[in-house]
Amino acid sequence: MLSFSQAEFRYEPYPIGVARQVLASDHYSELVKNFPDISIMKRLEGNTCKLSLSEKNHSRRYRQFVQGNPLWRDFYAYVKRNGFISDILGMLQKHHIDLRLSSRVASTGDAWRHIIVSLLSGRLPYNLTRLNARFEFSTLHGKHGYLKPHTDTPRKLITLVISMVEQGKWPLEYGGGTDVNRALDSHNAYNHLNRSLEFSEVEVLHTYNFEPNQCVIFVKTFNSLHSVRPIRAPVGALRQSLTINIER
């Protein structure tokens, strides 16, 4: 369902890249039209003014929405299928990002086989934690919506953020792009536990503009600082995205 044939990565200060035209155009348009309304989303507190609908935020409404919409029900099954995580790990490996995570340990039976083979070979087994993939509907208000610089929680390993906006509906001057940040003060350089910073505490190394049908992909590290600076869109405009997390 997702295509990463046009993926391009940068590796400093952490692995992050973008893939364009990740969904078939017609399918993408239908998913955008069927994006959930903000009335059923939960406003998050802390370093963000984000509205969210996910397995963790308004889980009952999330399940009702996904199960009640054939398009999103199919997408849910796609993300939850056995091969999805393996496909993403394989795509990253092709781009020289090897996280030493094996799809062979995704199930209990495979985990035991991995342990036995490792011990018989005279080495210790690694990465036995079962990985999980889930996705979240996210919305930022176009007028001053933002995400402060943060690195993501330690349990997250890989994040994919798909822009969900109609063609021609989000001019470049609105902003809303994903910034790749670096801490100005070396005391903030190590940030594995996801302490949020102020915009004034980081420099912007690169910005992935918020464009239709693209996916920003990055790996959680101790310094994977990223943010969305206050958006400059008119009142009523919504920055909608779909965030897929692969986590422990």
Give a three-class secondary structure readout of the chain: CCCCCCCEEECCCCCEEEEECCCCHHHHHHHHHCCCCHHHCEECCCCECCEEECCCCCHHHHHHHHHHCHHHHHHHHHHHCCHHHHHHHHHHHHCCCCCCCCHHHCCHHHHHHHHHHHHHCCCCCCCCCCCEEEEEEEEEECECCCEEEECCCCCEEEEEEEECCCCCCCCHHHCCCEEEEEECCHHHCCCCCCCCCCHHHEEEEEEECCCCCEEEEEECCCCCCEEECCCECCCCCEEEEEEEEEEC
Least confident of 67-76, 123-132, 228-237: 123-132
The answer as to whether 97 is a domain residue is no
Q: Is the pLDDT of residue 107 over 50?
A: no
Q: Is the pLDDT of residue 104 over 50?
A: no
The answer as to whether 31 is a domain residue is yes
The answer as to whether 232 is a domain residue is yes
Q: What was the pLDDT predicted at 46?
A: 64
The answer as to whether 122 is a domain residue is no
Q: What is the CATH number of the domain that holds 169?
A: 2.60.120.620
Q: Is the pLDDT of residue 111 over 80?
A: no
Q: What was the pLDDT predicted at 143?
A: 87
Sign of CA dihedral 140, 34, 58, 106: negative
Mean pLDDT, rounded, for 174-196: 97
C-beta of residue 123 within 8 angstroms of C-beta of residue 238:
no
Q: What was the pLDDT predicted at 118?
A: 64
C-beta of residue 114 within 8 angstroms of C-beta of residue 102:
yes
User: Encoding tokens for residue 66?
Assistant: 């996904």
The answer as to whether 147 is a domain residue is yes
The answer as to whether 89 is a domain residue is no
The answer as to whether 230 is a domain residue is yes
Distance CA 1, CA 222 (A): 31
| pLDDT tens string 60-88 | 999 999 999 999 999 999 999 989 999 99
- Ranked by mean pLDDT, the top range of 45-54, 60-69, 116-125 is 60-69
Residue 203, Ramachandran bin (φ over 0: left; ψ between -120 and 50: alpha; else beta): beta
CA atoms within 13 A on the CB side of 16: 21
Please give the tally of structural domains in the chain: 1
C-beta of residue 171 within 8 angstroms of C-beta of residue 217:
no
C-beta of residue 247 within 8 angstroms of C-beta of residue 157:
yes
The answer as to whether 203 is a domain residue is yes
**Longest Cα separation, the chain:** 63
Mean pLDDT, rounded, for 214-220: 98
For residue 58, what are the domain limits? 8-82+132-247
Judged by DSSP in three states, 11 sits in: coil
